Amino acid sequence: MANQEAAGPPSDFIRDIVKEDLRTGKRGGRVCTRFPPEPNGYLHIGHAKSINLNYGIAREFGGRFNLRFDDTNPVKEEQEYVDSIIDDVRWLGADYGGRVLFASDYFEQMYRWAVELVRKGMAYVCDLAADEVTAYRGTLTRPGRDSPYRGRPVEENLDLLERMRRGEFPDGSRTLRARIDMASPNLNMRDPVMYRIMHAPHHRTGGAWCIYPTYDWAHGLEDSIEGITHSICTLEFENHRPLYDWFLDALGIHHPQQIEFARLNLMYTVLSKRRLLELVQEGRVRGWDDPRMPTVSGLRRRGYTPEAVREFCRRIGVAKFDGVVDIGLLEHCLREDLNRRSPRVMGVLRPLRVVIENYPEGRAEEVEAVNNPEDPSAGVRRVPFGRVLYIEREDFMEEPPKEFFRLAPGREVRLRYAYFIKCIGAVKDPRTGEPAEIRCTYDPATRGGDAPDGRKVKATLHWVSAAHAAAAEVRVYDHLFTKADPDDVEPGQDWKSNLNPRSEEVLTGCPVEPGLASAGPGSRFQFERLGYFCVDNDSRPGALVFNRTVALKDPWAKIQKGHRAR
């Protein structure tokens, strides 16, 4: 796999366009890209793809990358979202040069340009209500009809626009529209709305404005003002490109090139801010940063690294057609990265008590454990061992089937870094009939995990000494949805009917090795044999909380091996 990773700089159709523009000296041989989120929700992994693409291009071609909030709709936008987005962009490692830009800072300039278009007869004030505008617009097969206000004299338009701005008219009573072509085959060109009246305070401009620009009107202007060269967006804006171009040409100002690429879709989750907001508002998850959420803050809390997210973005690449990416690839990138960097520790999720009968009462010793076999510089640590231990419940079976090699009556196994133990009996819970405690003997000659006589065991178990263990809450996650496509629903149901009721399992009282008691939020570990875990934000000294980031097994690596073998 390493050979694939060592591939050269990324190459795709957008980078080809940029290279060609640099070769021909278009737009002064400059490169400036931007990431333009609307602050109406937290960022998700789809946004990470866009950030990685825009920032990556700026970096590779010696250009600039802008972080600009497209804050043109005061009703849905909040400072909380602005703050979270800045955090997430930083965490992803995109360098926006310390400048946070806001579309709302350009409102005055946008307004002046609107006046200019009115003067040129290219925009007019329309008194139709929203539903009338829709009715007049026509359909894909039927041309639209001219608004009765389309022929308004310039002077009257200027006066009405000015009064719209001053707040003389109620919400929805008038709009400013571009005067383009009501018969255009492209519906976006049928006199689109540029300004709507909204008497709503804005999170940055307060009460200064009561008319707000639409996305189509504002976006190209924002790009132009900032000297963006390549305005990269998702495919749903392809039909808007003629309008993007029309506004900039009508004003004769700097004209970036809009380029569309396929948005990221991911199996077993949803990537839509509107839907994610619904999950948060309905309390279906712990919040925007719930570790099950595909949000950047959720991934971070879950234990993802920015490196893993970037590697995932690099591997999925950039294309012009929509597809759905297997979430297994994201998890694979995560495991690869965590495998390199995570210290190994031992913890038990579902404990079963083991008493070693021939180990002296009251004796305690420490065994030496390797911190990271992938990284010798990580060194070793000492882990306490004792007469009473916990092992994983599923590592013992009273009547094991043929293929079960772990602990069973009469069976000998290795305890990692410690000794061979042999099961000599099980004490049952009288109520449930389930094993409550296992009785074992140990072989003192096997200290460190090898038998001097060369005898072999078929299993190595992780364990924690009962007398020394710290107790932790561990939250184990599964996919947020039960179906790869959450929109695949029964008649009459909606996407939320596919929410996975077992997406979070909370285990309490899990014994973990004592060295973890002081681990702070965000610290990541591999729990031997179990997976990767990180300390949750909810964790406190004395009340440890871990998230399981991802299990150890990696179906994706197997798939890839299969492909290479062929």
Structural tokens at position 492: 């009459």
Evaluate whether 36 touches 69 at the Cβ level (below 8 Å). Answer: yes
205 binds ligand ATP (CB under 6 A): no
At residue 367, φ and ψ (nearest 5 deg) are -110, 160
Evaluate whether 555 touches 328 at the Cβ level (below 8 Å). Answer: yes
- Which range in 22-30, 185-193, 272-280, 459-467 contacts ligand ATP by CB under 6 A? 272-280
Q: Please pick, among 190, 273, 310, 548, the residue that the annotation labels catalytic.
A: 273
204 binds ligand ATP (CB under 6 A): no
- Which range in 6-14, 115-123, 266-274, 548-556 contacts ligand ATP by CB under 6 A? 266-274
What residues contact 535, with CB distance under 8 A and at least 6 apart? 519, 520, 521, 522, 523, 544, 545, 546, 547
Residue 233 or 423: which CB sits closer to ligand ATP? 233
Which of 14, 233, 421, 545 binds ligand ATP (CB under 6 A)? It is 233
Binding mask 28-47 for ligand ATP (x = CB under 6 A): --------xxx-------xx
Q: How far does Cα 270 stand from its chain's mean position?
A: 11
263 binds ligand ATP (CB under 6 A): yes
Evaluate whether 505 touches 291 at the Cβ level (below 8 Å). Answer: no
Active site residue 260: no
Q: Do you know the residue count of the chain?
A: 566
Evaluate whether 230 touches 259 at the Cβ level (below 8 Å). Answer: yes
- Which range in 18-26, 164-172, 191-199, 263-271 contacts ligand ATP by CB under 6 A? 263-271
For the bound state, the minimum distance from the C-beta of residue 50 to ligand ATP, rounded and expressed in Å, comes to 4
Residue 57 or 354: which CB sits closer to ligand ATP? 57
Cα separation, 275 vs 298, whole angstroms: 15
279 binds ligand ATP (CB under 6 A): no
- Which residues, 112 to 131, sit near ligand ATP by CB under 6 A? none
Evaluate whether 55 touches 95 at the Cβ level (below 8 Å). Answer: yes
Q: Using DSSP, how many helices (H) and how many strands (E) does the chain show?
A: 14, 24
Evaluate whether 55 touches 94 at the Cβ level (below 8 Å). Answer: yes
Q: What is the DSSP letter of 319?
A: -
For the bound state, the minimum distance from the C-beta of residue 288 to ligand ATP, rounded and expressed in Å, comes to 13
163 binds ligand ATP (CB under 6 A): no
Active site residue 38: yes
Active site residue 19: no
For the bound state, the minimum distance from the C-beta of residue 476 to ligand ATP, rounded and expressed in Å, comes to 27
Residues in a beta bridge with 365 = 385
Q: Please pick, among 26, 76, 150, 263, the residue that the annotation labels catalytic.
A: 263
Structural tokens at position 541: 């000294």
Q: Please pick, among 38, 78, 162, 504, the residue that the annotation labels catalytic.
A: 38
Q: Of all residues in this chain, which one has the CB nearest to ligand ATP in the complex?
A: 46
By annotation, the residues acting in catalysis are 38, 263, 273
Q: Which residues bind ligand ATP (CB under 6 A)?
A: 36-38, 46-47, 49-50, 233-234, 263-264, 271-274
